[in-house]
């Protein structure tokens, strides 16, 4: 355990001068900021700064740099691998009040937002302009946090992840200096790709305060469908063929029977309690019809049931809300339990083997753990529903988690497709990338944050 850094009086006074009553020391606020949405223990900061501008973040970072005070950036608090835990104490910078949408350029399909804007907020703002931003982790996360964890979600199979959809960033560095990375051009070969370096760096290299994002026109036609299968293998095999055929499906989501049961109970629905695929097709009316027909043929070959269609927006919203609530639905499966979500991503050809083996491991360990997945990308999640007081259960979950990660890495995949490393997966980083590559990450961290102040204890394992 690290020593926890407390804020000295001089730093406190200077911070109050900037923030006034937006510097909060209360236990409740600090505890709420020391934990994301998962099983990782609460590690509260010493205080929380509710910032309102890049200039404020810069001034605060300058002070913290001077006083060697650790800083943890905080968006909506929906991260899953202990990203916001203040393992070294210090200050939490909460960016949720930086909620301004600064510009929308409909002609160029891009926009500029402050880091605290959430994905639902931006899409609500864009809807009347016929535009949308596709990245949708289940939670209503902040866009700054989504960039920091390289988030993706259900649309990534068609639209990519935060990696692909952030055009540029405003970032406050550990010494308080401000940089702007990227630009509004669709592509550039001008220098090192600092945007992509910051995306996925989980607040360990800089604090993202603004984002330039790529937008998309809302497709002329959208159609969603649900289809259940007799067994998990058939469902996943159908997905593999759909992806390999190159049909440009916008969303392909798998929910296993355990998850469907949870969704039915939580969202008061009555889907069959069977492995189920959720689809969405985007395009022109003719294009959507063609995609649906191609997918329908493949599904039939794998014994999938008839599509249940949802073409009206209201029905589609209900369907996808059920999918996005999957995590909360799962936690509801057992009372007084917590969710321990984990995810891996593998080459699509290995998906079936990997999911089936994982399901077997879960069942052998007698754990309650639905599997859901953004299977079009080869990405799937296990949601362990665990009693944190039950040491056996926690160890079993850790064991299955490790086995699943080892298997994914063995297949050329990754220990996390979209949740990030945080604290929870640091131990797998070297296994995935090797000592030399992690040493390069450490050199970059030391070069940009020589005092180790930014989100200490995350991503890069200590030597």
Contact set for a copy of itself, span 228-287 (CB under 8 A): 240, 244-246, 284, 286-287
Q: CB pairs under 8 A, 24+ apart, for 312-316?
A: 313/222, 315/224, 316/222, 316/224, 316/280
CB of 194 to a copy of itself, least distance (A): 6
Nearer to a copy of itself, 190 or 463 (CB): 190
**Chain position carrying tokens 């029977």:** 257
Nearer to a copy of itself, 151 or 331 (CB): 151
Nearer to a copy of itself, 80 or 337 (CB): 80
Nearer to a copy of itself, 41 or 347 (CB): 347
- Facing residues of 386 across strands? 338
Give the binding range for a copy of itself (CB under 8 A) out of 46-54, 230-238, 322-330, 376-384: 376-384
Q: Which of 9, 28, 187, 392 binds a copy of itself (CB under 8 A)?
A: 187
User: 34: Cβ–Cβ under 8 A, 6 or more apart, which residues?
Assistant: 42, 43, 44, 45, 84, 85, 86, 92
Measure the CA–CA gap between 393 and 390, rounded to whole angstroms. 5
Q: Give yes or no for residue 427 binding a copy of itself (CB under 8 A).
A: no
User: 189: Cβ–Cβ under 8 A, 6 or more apart, which residues?
Assistant: none
Is residue 426 within a helix (H) or strand (E), and if so which, with residue range?
helix 426-448
Give the binding range for a copy of itself (CB under 8 A) out of 24-32, 226-234, 392-400, 411-419: 411-419
Contact set for a copy of itself, span 333-352 (CB under 8 A) = 345-349
Give the binding range for a copy of itself (CB under 8 A) out of 48-56, 102-110, 270-278, 301-309: 102-110
Give the binding range for a copy of itself (CB under 8 A) out of 22-30, 68-76, 198-206, 305-313: 198-206
**Total site size for a copy of itself, rule CB under 8 A:** 89
- 3 CB burial (10 A radius; 0-12, 13-18, 19+): exposed
- 250 CB burial (10 A radius; 0-12, 13-18, 19+): buried
Q: Give yes or no for residue 17 binding a copy of itself (CB under 8 A).
A: no
CB of 439 to a copy of itself, least distance (A): 8
Measure the CA–CA gap between 173 and 208, rounded to whole angstroms. 9
Measure the CA–CA gap between 363 and 319, rounded to whole angstroms. 28
Nearer to a copy of itself, 5 or 167 (CB): 167
Q: Which of 203, 370, 420, 424 binds a copy of itself (CB under 8 A)?
A: 420
**Chain position carrying tokens 């002329």:** 220
Q: What is the residue-wise DSSP string for 296-337?
A: HHHHHHTT----EEE-SHHHHHHHHHHHHTHHHHHHTTSTT-
Q: Which of 17, 188, 311, 321 binds a copy of itself (CB under 8 A)?
A: 188
Give the binding range for a copy of itself (CB under 8 A) out of 14-22, 312-320, 330-338, 420-428: 420-428
Q: Which of 59, 400, 429, 454 binds a copy of itself (CB under 8 A)?
A: 429
CB of 185 to a copy of itself, least distance (A): 4
CB 375 within 8 A of CB 417: no
Contact set for a copy of itself, span 146-185 (CB under 8 A) = 149-152, 156, 160-161, 163-164, 173, 177-181, 183-185
Nearer to a copy of itself, 45 or 378 (CB): 378
Measure the CA–CA gap between 218 and 215, rounded to whole angstroms. 9
What is the distance, to the nearest Å, from the Cα of residue 106 to the centroid of all Cα atoms in its chain? 26
Measure the CA–CA gap between 3 and 88, rounded to whole angstroms. 6
CB of 316 to a copy of itself, least distance (A): 20
């Amino acid at each position: 355990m690290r020593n926890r850094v407390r804020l000295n009086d001089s730093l406190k006074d200077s911070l109050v001068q900037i923030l006034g009553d937006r510097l909060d020391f209360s236990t409740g606020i600090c505890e709420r900021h020391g934990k994301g949405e998962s099983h990782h223990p609460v590690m509260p900061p010493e205080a929380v700064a509710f910032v309102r501008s890049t200039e404020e973040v810069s001034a605060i970072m300058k002070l913290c740099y001077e006083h060697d005070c650790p800083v943890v950036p905080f968006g909506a608090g929906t991260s899953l691998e202990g990203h916001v835990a203040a393992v070294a104490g210090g200050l939490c910078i909460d960016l949720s009040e930086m909620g301004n949408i600064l510009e929308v350029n409909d002609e160029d399909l891009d926009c500029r937002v402050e880091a605290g804007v959430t994905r639902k907020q931006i899409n609500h703002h864009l809807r009347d302009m016929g535009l949308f931003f596709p990245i949708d982790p289940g939670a209503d996360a902040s866009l700054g946090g989504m960039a920091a964890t390289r988030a993706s979600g259900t649309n990534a199979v068609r639209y990519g992840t935060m990696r692909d959809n952030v055009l540029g960033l405003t970032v406050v560095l550990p010494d308080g200096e401000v940089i702007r990375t990227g630009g509004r051009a669709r592509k550039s070969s001008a220098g090192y790709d600092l945007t992509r370096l910051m995306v996925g760096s989980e607040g360990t290299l800089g604090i993202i305060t603004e984002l330039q994002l790529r937008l998309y026109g809302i497709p002329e036609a959208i159609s969603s469908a649900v289809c259940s299968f007799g067994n998990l293998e058939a469902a996943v095999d159908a997905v593999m063929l759909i992806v390999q055929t190159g049909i440009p499906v916008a969303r392909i989501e798998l929910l296993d029977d355990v998850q469907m049961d949870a969704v039915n109970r939580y969202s008061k629905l009555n889907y069959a309690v069977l492995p189920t695929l959720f689809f969405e097709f985007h395009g022109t009316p003719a294009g959507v019809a063609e995609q649906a027909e191609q997918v329908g043929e493949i599904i039939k070959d794998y014994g999938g049931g008839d599509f249940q269609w949802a073409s009206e927006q209201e029905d589609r919203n209900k369907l996808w809300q059920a999918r996005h609530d999957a995590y909360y639905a799962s936690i509801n499966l057992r009372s007084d339990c917590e969710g321990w979500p984990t995810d891996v991503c593998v080459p699509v050809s290995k998906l079936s083997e990997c999911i089936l083996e994982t399901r077997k491991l879960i069942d052998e360990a007698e754990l309650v753990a639905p599997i859901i997945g953004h299977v079009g990308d080869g990405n799937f999640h296990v949601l362990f529903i665990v009693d944190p007081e039950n040491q056996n259960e926690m160890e079993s979950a850790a064991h299955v988690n490790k086995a699943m990660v080892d298997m994914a890495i063995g297949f050329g995949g990754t220990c996390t497709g979209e949740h990030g490393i945080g604290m929870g997966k640091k131990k797998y980083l070297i296994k995935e990338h090797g000592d030399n590559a992690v040493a390069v990450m450490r050199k970059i961290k030391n070069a940009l944050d020589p005092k180790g102040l930014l989100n200490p204890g995350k991503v890069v394992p200590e030597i």
